[in-house]
Amino acid sequence: MLKNLEGKRVPEVTFHTRKGHEWVDISTADIFAGRTVVLFSLPGAFTPTCSSSHVPRYNQLAPQFNAAGVDEIICVSVNDAFVMNEWKRSQNAERLTFLPDGNGEFSDKMGLLVGKENLGFGKRSWRYSMLVRDGVVEKMFIEPEVPGDPYGVSDADTMFAHVAPNVALPHDVAIFTREGCGHCVRAKGLLNEAGIEFEELLLNRDYTDQTLRAVSSRITYPQVFIDGEHIGGADDLAKWLGDRGVDARNAA
């Protein structure tokens, strides 16, 4: 039976981290005392769900968590410091803190260390997230104890809904661009002026024109997508912003 430690203090352990060429020990008190922290733990660095969904979404929503009073977002896994540091770099997750629970001590004391010997993993952490205020666990979202690697309640969206239930999530924006495109520069300027983060996909680096035709049936640039909706080019984006009361004239 997996433990739920809501209302209890986080276990006292020391994390052995690596910064530059030195070992740096960080205690539980260093992390949690007098602070509000969101921590999520997962089975392993570089594993599929952890890399494709769990870490990226927490990293994306970090500014919103910070605005809601969360001081730090921490990712824990039963991996060593070298692996965790390299994983953070590969994920471009600079908004998160990665803590190595190499010996599984923290996960064990949390009551969430499980056997993954059937996969050759040995002992690993069960997937969960928790909100900790001044060292006391306020809320835990623990994935159900079923076979496999369930992922449905420890995600960033579920935690954010608990932390800030009345705050809207940011828009998910992708923009297809090409080099030397003035309209692309304008569209990116519009988004920047509106304070909307976006992911840029550059022609012949991240995709080909075949991909653009497949997703938009267009061959002009840029092409903007917001929350699953195809907006179009720079003029279409300006209209979309204007319809929502965003003054985009300075970027036009």
Last residue of a domain, one of 144, 163, 182: 163
Q: Are both 196 and 238 inside the same structural domain?
A: yes
Number of domains the chain is built from = 2
For residue 220, the enclosing domain spans 173-251
Q: Are both 103 and 177 inside the same structural domain?
A: no
Q: Are both 226 and 126 inside the same structural domain?
A: no
Q: Are both 79 and 110 inside the same structural domain?
A: yes
Per-residue confidence (pLDDT) for residue 240, from 0 to 100: 97
Distances (CA, A) of 200 to 172, 174, 177, 205, 224: 12, 6, 7, 11, 9
CA distance 220 to 135: 53
**CB neighbour list of residue 87: distance below 8 Å, 6 or more residues apart:** 45, 46, 51, 79, 98
**CB neighbour list of residue 177: distance below 8 Å, 6 or more residues apart:** 184, 187, 188, 200, 201, 202, 203, 221, 222
Tokens of 122: 């040995």
Residue range 119-158, pLDDT digits in tens:
999 999 999 999 999 999 999 999 999 998 999 999 999 9
Tokens of 252: 């036009």
Counting residues of the chain whose pLDDT is more than 70, the rounded percentage is 98
Q: How confident is the model over 202-218, as a mean pLDDT?
A: 95
**CB neighbour list of residue 76: distance below 8 Å, 6 or more residues apart:** 39, 40, 41, 42, 99, 101, 106, 107, 125
Q: Are both 61 and 136 inside the same structural domain?
A: yes
Is residue 125 situated within a structural domain?
yes
Counted residue by residue, the chain has a size of 252
Pairing of strands 97-100, 173-177: unpaired
State residue 80 phi and psi, 5-degree precision: -80, 170
Per-residue confidence (pLDDT) for residue 1, from 0 to 100: 75
Omega prior to 222 cis, within 30 of 0 = yes
Is residue 75 situated within a structural domain?
yes
Does the pLDDT at position 252 exceed 60?
A: no
Q: Are both 72 and 106 inside the same structural domain?
A: yes
In CATH, what number is assigned to the domain containing residue 20?
Answer: 3.40.30.10
Does the pLDDT at position 236 exceed 50?
A: yes
Q: Closest Cα to residue 186, out of 229, 243, 241?
A: 241
Given the residues 50, 75, 181, 184, the one annotated as active site: 50
Per-residue confidence (pLDDT) for residue 78, from 0 to 100: 98
Q: What is the pTM of this model?
A: 0.90
Q: How confident is the model over 101-109, as a mean pLDDT?
A: 98
Per-residue confidence (pLDDT) for residue 251, from 0 to 100: 42
Confirm whether 50 is a catalytic residue. yes
Per-residue confidence (pLDDT) for residue 246, from 0 to 100: 81
Residue range 38-76, pLDDT digits in tens:
999 999 999 999 999 999 999 999 999 999 999 999 999
